[in-house]
Amino acid sequence: MTQYVYRFGGGVSDGGKGDKNLLGGKGANLAEMASIGLPVPPGFTIGTPMCAVYYDEGAQFPESLKAEVADGLAHIEAVTGKKFGDASDPLLVSVRSGARASMPGMMDTVLNLGLNDATVVGLATASGDERFAWDSYRRFIQMYSDVVLELDHDAFEDALEIAKENKGYYLDTDMTAADWQALVAEYKALVEQQWSKPFPQDVHDQLWGAIGAVFGSWQSERAKVYRRLNDIPAAWGTAVNVQAMVFGNMGDTSATGVAFTRDPAKGDNAYYGEFLINAQGEDVVAGIRTPQYLTLAARQAANAKPLSMEEAMPEVYGELAGVFDILERHYRDMQDIEFTVERGKLWMLQTRSGKRTAKAALKIAVDMAEEGLITREEAIARVDPAALDQLLHPTLDPAATRDVLTRGLPASPGAASGKVVFDADTAEKRAAAGDAVILVRTETSPEDIHGMHAARGILTARGGMTSHAAVVARGMGRPCVSGAGTLSIDAKAKVMRCPSANGTREVNEGDVITIDGASGEVMIGEVPTVQPELAGDFGTLMEWADGVRRLKVRANAETPLDAKTAREFGAEGIGLCRTEHMFFDAARITAVRQMILAEDEKGRRAALDKLLPEQRSDFVEIFEVMAGLPVTIRLLDPPLHEFLPHEEEEFAEVAAAAGVEVDYLKRRAAELHEFNPMLGHRGCRLGVTYPEIYEMQARAIFEAAVSLDVAPVPEIMIPLVATRRELELMKAVVDKAAEAVFAETGKRVEYLVGTMIELPRAALRAGEIAEVGEFFSFGTNDLTQTALGVSRDDAARFLQVYVEKGIYAKDPFVSIDVEGVGELIEIAAQRGRATRADIKLGICGEHGGDPASIAFCEKVGLDYVSASPYRVPIARLAAAQAALGQRGT
């Protein structure tokens, strides 16, 4: 019989940290902490395979699981000495999710399970604290009603706020036992009103309801969005952890908190976290109350008044600090820890590798390598290449004028300006329309995940630096300011207010604000930015990465600024210079159109003569930046229709330049119309029919190259080749132009002629094409389109559905379709090398900056990848990780 339940605590550990796939991250780490002697409340984990069974069986559980869960409960009862459902001294449990990949806040949790009208009295008697018992019961009803019964969460929150207002209370901790008892009665009435049944009193019914809800939350919309954004397969499923409750809400000697062994925002080697006295865990992470600092140094730095844990609970804090060090050494990574103090006794509820910003990831990886805790190779592997994107963009100009509205907590670094929106749906809609938006909420919840992803930054009035908003924002690389307590947010009226020396200031939806996640400042209007400085830890890690990678990294660039930026980011040449982008310049487009609309070679050459000096000038500027490095230049590729005039004014301009009538031009434009231009008269087909176009471009390239003291190595790329003969004809045009320039100037430069492999036929006939071509560059954008028969420009409306239904693992225009497009690349590489052993092979589509695609390029043995300038560092790190992966390091 398949085993699904695994115990931990009380001297028993059925699993450990190596069982993450089976037990989920939380379950594996709970078992591991218990096995190394840390104080972990006993419990059991229902493994991830049950998640698939649950869905396959129509949200039902097999009978065998019920017996295993009963044994698991018996284990907890034996260790705690309490009985589940006992009216005199009841065992209470928590039910939590735990996938193999951390998904903070995305799935459901139920605490204080096992309370009912009878056991709440027993809890009050056994604990000697009636207020604590009734507080726990109201928490349980509220959470169970939300998570399991799916009732209106706001109705319960409103009832609590009204109860406090009626008593003149400000904090939950002001409520008395009698107040909580009255609220419990009101909550039960709300349940019966909304659910048409009384709140469940059978503790076993409660338990199975919660287990089902946690498994069910794996397919919640917020979990699906998070998995999509973080490339987490739906097939992994989640585990469920059932664990004896320990209570942080048993008075002033009890507390709960969240901590990181290093600063997850900056990476400093200093404890970072928050705690609350007389509270339960969700109070900290949900932002219900603004927490206190963990350390004295952090409190003093923030100029906060409430005592830190180091001051308020010095003995327990000392024990906790010791646990931090044990866990960091044991796991050899920065840990994110949840803990509870019950009447002075410390309990560990969770540890996992902590989410961190890109800046922190860099610093922690480099510091740990230099401390000897991990190797340099491990440090390279620890940093997510895609996360480097956070470091490669501007931050606020420190010299700029700032109209500061308020200050909150610096929850996730970086800065962003945008229009204020007050709900996630509006954020998503406005962002899709092209607006930069800042999502402003009293506090965020997991349901806001899509809006948080769409927003440039997040601002909350409540919550600390370990709140949902802060953790998710850091993971996404979004700037976040949390706990801006002076803000009063009215989401329904779409306005936020903030008191100031001159009265109340109002900010309405659509107004522009700027947030600085490094300082916590919130500013009115847009604040200027400055470029980042990529030195220190960034430079160190890049140096280590460059030392292990095999793949060269080039950039896609067609302007001097792009080329300069690429070199600053470490590009080793240009892998794709799109010459058509140069033709769209306003000063040249008329001549380009004159060339296209000309009826004969004479007319085309007249227009090309105007373009030659412009093209030469373009190449001189780029070649100066890339002196001595390879520069791959794609000759004119796009369909002619992209250049044609559409407006009367444009037709008049071209007619005047060409000395012909407007009606004539319109007739020529109609003759050139194509029904499917992406597969029409474009690429090398233009060169075959109008060789003078490629002749002019080749001459411009060679005239520019020979004019420089230190020339680059031009690699002239013929696009959209399907046959050997096409490339042979175009190479002859290029070689003839080269020899003419060399003869005229008396100077020669090294150059190569090759092709872009972007058609399936070219991939399959690569052996004979390599007889002519000296290099192949895989144009994966068009190769994906032609291999899949999918238009990239039109695929957005259905590709996401294809991914969700498992037809494609990822969007094939974002990450290479390894099974289809990848096989074509592999075939072309093998056949090309069989003909020409030293043929140079690279990739220049958008996939060149995608880490998963780079790993594929390493596996196939390509020579280089080419990415947009700002993705060059990402490609450098991904190439190093791919090399280490191939070595098995």
Q: What's the CA gap between 358 and 517, in Å, rounded?
A: 14
In eight-state DSSP terms, residue 819 is I
Pairing of strands 775-778, 752-757: parallel
| Edge-to-edge strands, sheet with 345-353 | 292-293, 272-277, 255-260, 335-342, 345-353
- Comparing CA positions, the residue from 461, 454, 462 lying closest to residue 437 is 454
The three state secondary structure string of 615-643 is HHHHHHHHHHHCCCCEEEEECCCCCHHHH
- Residue 512's DSSP bridge partners are 419
Q: Which residue shows structure tokens 């229009």?
A: 419
Q: Could you tell me the CA-to-CA distances from 646 to 189, 662, 673, 763 in Å, in that order?
A: 68, 12, 12, 36
As given in the structure block, the two tokens for residue 884 are 């280490």
CA 354 to chain centre: 15
Q: For residue 113, what is the enclosing H or E element?
A: strand 109-113
Q: What's the CA gap between 8 and 31, in Å, rounded?
A: 5
Up-side HSE of residue 473: CA atoms within 13 Å toward CB? 36
- Residue 369's DSSP bridge partners are none
- Comparing CA positions, the residue from 93, 464, 480 lying closest to residue 283 is 464
As given in the structure block, the two tokens for residue 613 are 């000096």
- Mark whether 844 is an active-site residue: yes
In eight-state DSSP terms, residue 291 is P
Q: What's the CA gap between 316 and 248, in Å, rounded?
A: 13
Annotated active-site residue in 480, 844, 847, 857: 844
As given in the structure block, the two tokens for residue 612 are 């030659």
Is residue 32 a contact partner of residue 232, using CB atoms and an 8 Å limit? Answer: no
DSSP per position, 368-425: HHHHTSS-HHHHHHHS-GGGGGGGSS-EE-TTS--EEEEE-EEEE--EEEEEEESSHH
Cβ-defined contacts of 801-806 (< 8 Å, 24+): 803/228, 804/224, 804/228, 806/234
Amino acid letter, residue 329: R
Amino acid letter, residue 542: M
Residue 45 CB partners (closer than 8 Å, separation 6+): 5, 6, 8, 15, 23, 24, 26, 27, 30, 31, 98, 239, 240, 241, 242
The three state secondary structure string of 525-565 is CCCCEECCCCCCHHHHHHHHHHHHCCCEEEEECCCHHHHHH
Amino acid letter, residue 696: M
Q: What's the CA gap between 826 and 764, in Å, rounded?
A: 10
Q: For residue 46, what is the enclosing H or E element?
A: strand 43-46
Task: Find the distance separating the first CA and the last CA of the chain, reported in whole Å.
Answer: 37
Helix (H, G, I), strand (E, B) or coil at 338: strand
Annotate 24-41 with b (16+ C-beta within 10 A) or e (fewer). bbbbbbbbbbbbeebbbb
As given in the structure block, the two tokens for residue 705 are 């190259």
Q: What's the CA gap between 645 and 642, in Å, rounded?
A: 9
CB atoms within 10 A of CB 307: 14
Residue 294 CB partners (closer than 8 Å, separation 6+): 257, 259, 271, 272, 273, 274, 275, 308, 309, 310, 317
Helix (H, G, I), strand (E, B) or coil at 111: strand
Annotated active-site residue in 453, 468, 480, 847: 468
Residues comprising the chain, all counted: 889
Residues designated catalytic: 468, 844
